[in-house]
């Protein structure tokens, strides 16, 4: 490891550069939020991916697309799932939005549920780290991800067409993307679609690494049960050189149009998405009792002894379908107290079906549906005594239903109303942003177990302009109401309670747990302090951030010490937790003569998360640090990036230590621009050192490593603007 790291650092040093050119100037990106400001001037700790940078990073999942941003990692669950993790927090604490409106999918319910937002069709992606914005609503204690698309045009533009084709050697993946825009008179329209198909992911070695599955605490506390379980794992067939059942197929088509007037617009868009992906064998295993009752009956033991188990006997595929409709409008006032009013109305019909390997829906399989409507209305006011602001109202009405083997959550009707106000002041050498949000959430189930929670959040950020940058100070108080799975998992709504000793608890195979909720959970409260410095005008540019997040009633699954059929029974409990960390990303030009000025970027991020009783919070990303050498010219660019991911030994009771690794990636592209056309040829090399990569943030790190060394090649043709 040390030799390879030294070799990589040598390649990234100035001595390894063989040519000389000036870098291409890149225009700053304006961040969409409460106020339109440049990224360096906003009071939010935000990262923005757009343009060529987004095209370089885009991957099959949202988490994989964002994992090279400081403070962001991914919680993978095989090749088809990658949920974003921001500063060690994910799930319900990270709000994922599509064009500033909730995704309305079921990704936060379980780690094997993928996001329904497709980054391949995004115009830009904004990542807000920490609870620094009040526009994302209940649950944004960890941060927010806003995937912004062009489905509803907001202006009249000349016709354009983009066609892109990619091939990835790691899984023989082919993907095609088409996007078109045009305008006639005052009508603008947009059309896009993609198709993606891949075989099983190739990996450096064995898929299953039993050494990463069981902690020493489990072995000591439950030796007999663990021996039985471990024996089953030894019988589970292992794939060598590929990750079984990791093939995937996805397609999407969208159409949108808008009427554009002098003072605003109104538009409509519809999108249909289908995504079929597999889960790693062993990640979604039904308990022995289920098999005995459903298939094997009294012959189950003989079958185990005499018949080899197929590697796909427990393989499950997910068929995700979604139809989303959006209505959006904006009106700009010519004068008066108000300057702009906007509205968004979204209807989403989401379904997620678990399918057995034979291709038919399992007789007792699980179907998740989430049908909902979300509305969002905002109005901006003109400056009053130097303060300008935006007030808004957000409304959500959705129905979540799970049916089948894993219906461990009852049907829940969710209603949310949130009012928010954000104000901004700009002085000669400083600016400030302050906000307030009050929300109400009602969860309705059959029986006396309805839950209603009111949350109040507030924040203040101050930006001090200095000679070569900006000093940022931010304080935030955020409250999160308990989610439906935290309250109602394996809870009988008729008695509003659960018996953790009940042998009929419903197994959650993705987490390999019997999960039990608690209808009496309190509001989760986060108090966050952040200090940062942005270097914007000197030789060195970048950002340094330090943060501290104290969370009261932090909700997590805790082992009860009980076993049901040899499987752990865990219950949602609340403790006090502290998240602290640091992030750094600095870019330095290296003038080497001959007109060439490459840039070197160094980066690191680290999160420390512990409970007040001294135990570690589970699945916290390890320390990362590295460097990137970039050479950018008007017609071509090359980037070589090395990341050292440290060993994660700060683990929770039921976790195992995860080994570190070195990730080396390469990106290169070349532009050809005849006339009004732009032809881009690009190449991306991934995991060039062919490391066995296991993500500590993943529930299935022992079963599903990341892909081996591979090359992705592509071509993108742009016609028009």
**pLDDT tens-place string over residues 148-201:** 998 999 999 899 999 999 999 999 999 999 999 999 999 999 999 999 999 999
583 burial type by CB count under 10 A (0-12 exposed, 13-18 middle, 19+ buried) = buried
pLDDT one-digit tens code per residue, 282-312: 766 554 444 433 443 444 344 333 334 455 6
pLDDT mean over 610-625: 94
The partner residues of 47 in beta bridges, in order of sequence, read: 127
Q: Is the dihedral of CA 118, 124, 128, 133 positive or negative?
A: negative
In this structure, are strands 567-589 and 514-516 parallel, antiparallel, or unpaired?
parallel
- Which stretches within 48-115 are classed as H helix? 51-57, 62-66
pLDDT one-digit tens code per residue, 223-277: 444 444 443 444 567 899 999 999 999 999 999 999 999 999 999 999 999 999 9
What is d(CA 90, CA 648) in angstroms, rounded to the nearest whole number?
Answer: 18
Structure tokens belonging to residue 109: 């319910």
User: Is the pLDDT confidence value at 210 over 60?
Assistant: yes
Q: What is the pLDDT of residue 525?
A: 95
- Domains delineated in the chain: 2-720 (2.40.170.20)
pLDDT mean over 654-658: 90
Q: What is the pLDDT of residue 550?
A: 96
Structure tokens belonging to residue 327: 């209505």
Q: What is the pLDDT of residue 507?
A: 85
pLDDT one-digit tens code per residue, 431-443: 998 989 999 999 9
Q: Please, what is the average pLDDT of the chain?
A: 85
Sheet containing strand 143-148, strands side by side = 46-50, 124-129, 143-148, 94-98, 101-102
What is d(CA 590, CA 688) in angstroms, rounded to the nearest whole number?
Answer: 25
User: Is the pLDDT confidence value at 568 over 70?
Assistant: yes
Q: What is the pLDDT of residue 33?
A: 55
The partner residues of 572 in beta bridges, in order of sequence, read: 557
Q: What percentage of the chain has pLDDT greater than the value 70?
A: 84
Q: What is the pLDDT of residue 112?
A: 86
SS (H, E, C) 83-139: EEEECCECHHHEEEEECCEECCCCCCCCCCCCCCCCHHHCCEEEEEECCCCCCCCCC
User: Is the pLDDT confidence value at 412 over 70?
Assistant: yes
What is d(CA 682, CA 666) in angstroms, rounded to the nearest whole number?
Answer: 11
């Amino acid at each position: 490891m040390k030799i390879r790291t030294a070799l990589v650092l040598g390649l990234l040093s100035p001595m390894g550069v063989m040519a000389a050119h000036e870098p291409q100037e890149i225009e700053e990106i304006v961040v969409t939020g409460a106020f339109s400001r440049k990224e360096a001037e906003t009071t939010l700790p935000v990262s923005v991916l757009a343009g060529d940078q987004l095209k370089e990073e885009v991957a099959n999942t949202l988490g994989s697309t964002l994992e090279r941003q400081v403070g962001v990692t991914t919680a993978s669950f095989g090749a088809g799932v990658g949920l974003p993790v921001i500063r060690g927090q994910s799930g319900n604490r990270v709000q994922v939005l599509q064009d500033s409106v909730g995704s309305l999918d079921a990704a936060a319910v379980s780690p094997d549920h993928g996001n329904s937002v497709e980054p391949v069709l995004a115009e830009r992606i904004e990542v807000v780290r920490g609870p620094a914005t009040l526009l994302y609503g209940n649950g944004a204690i960890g941060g927010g991800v806003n995937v912004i698309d062009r489905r509803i045009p907001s202006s009249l533009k000349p016709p354009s067409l983009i066609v892109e084709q990619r091939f990835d050697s790691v899984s023989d993946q082919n993907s095609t993307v088409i996007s078109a825009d045009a305008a006639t008179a005052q009508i603008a329209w947009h059309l896009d679609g993609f198709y993606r198909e891949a075989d099983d992911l190739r990996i450096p070695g064995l898929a299953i690494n039993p050494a990463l599955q069981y902690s020493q605490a489990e072995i000591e506390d439950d030796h007999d049960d663990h021996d039985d379980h471990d024996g089953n794992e030894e019988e589970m067939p292992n794939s060598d050189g590929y990750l079984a059942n990791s093939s995937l197929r996805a397609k999407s088509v969208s159409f949108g149009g808008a009427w554009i007037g002098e003072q605003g617009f109104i538009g409509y868009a519809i999108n249909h998405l289908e995504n079929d992906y597999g889960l790693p064998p062993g990640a979604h295993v039904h308990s022995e009792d289920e098999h005995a009752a459903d298939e094997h009956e009294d012959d189950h033991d003989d079958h185990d002894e005499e018949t080899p188990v197929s590697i796909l006997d427990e393989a499950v595929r997910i068929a995700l379908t979604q139809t989303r409709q959006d209505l959006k409008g904006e009106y700009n006032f010519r004068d008066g107290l108000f300057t702009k009013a906007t509205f968004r109305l979204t209807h989403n019909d989401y379904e997620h079906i678990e399918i057995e390997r034979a291709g038919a829906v399992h007789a007792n399989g699980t179907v998740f549906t989430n049908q909902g409507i979300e509305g969002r209305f905002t109005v901006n006011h003109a400056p009053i005594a130097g303060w300008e602001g935006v007030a808004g109202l957000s409304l959500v009405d959705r129905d979540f239903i799970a049916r089948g083997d894993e219906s461990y959550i009852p049907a829940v009707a969710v209603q949310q109303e949130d009012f928010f106000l954000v104000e901004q002041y700009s002085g000669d050498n400083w600016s400030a942003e302050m906000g307030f949000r009050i929300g109400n959430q009602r969860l309705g189930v059959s029986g006396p177990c309805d839950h209603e929670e009111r949350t109040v959040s507030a924040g203040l950020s101050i930006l001090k302009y200095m000679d070569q940058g900006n000093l940022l100070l931010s304080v935030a108080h955020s409250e999160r109401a308990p989610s439906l799975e935290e309250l109602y998992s394996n809870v009988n709504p008729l008695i509003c309670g659960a018996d953790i000793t009940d042998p009929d608890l419903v197994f959650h195979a993705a987490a390999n747990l019997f999960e039990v909720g608690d209808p009496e959970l309190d509001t989760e409260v986060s108090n966050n302090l952040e200090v940062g410095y942005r270097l914007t005008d000197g030789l060195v540019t970048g950002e340094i951030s330090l943060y501290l997040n104290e969370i009261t009633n932090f909700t997590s699954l805790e082992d009860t010490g009980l076993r049901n059929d040899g499987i752990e029974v865990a219950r949602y409990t609340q403790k006090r937790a502290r998240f602290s960390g640091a992030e750094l990303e600095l870019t330095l030009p290296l003038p080497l003569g001959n007109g060439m000025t490459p840039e070197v970027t160094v980066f690191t991020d680290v999160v420390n998360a512990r409970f007040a009783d001294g135990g570690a919070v589970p699945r916290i990303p390890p320390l990362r640090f590295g460097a990137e050498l970039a050479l950018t010219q008007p017609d071509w660019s090359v980037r070589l990036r090395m990341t050292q991911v440290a060993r994660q030994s700060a683990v929770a009771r039921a976790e195992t230590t995860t080994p570190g690794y070195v990730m080396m990636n390469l990106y290169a592209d070349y532009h050809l621009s005849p006339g009004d056309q732009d032809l881009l040829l690009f190449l991306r090399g991934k995991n060039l050192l062919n490391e066995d990569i296991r993500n500590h943030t993943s529930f299935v790190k022992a079963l599903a490593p990341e892909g081996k060394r591979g090359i992705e090649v592509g071509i993108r043709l742009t016609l028009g603007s």
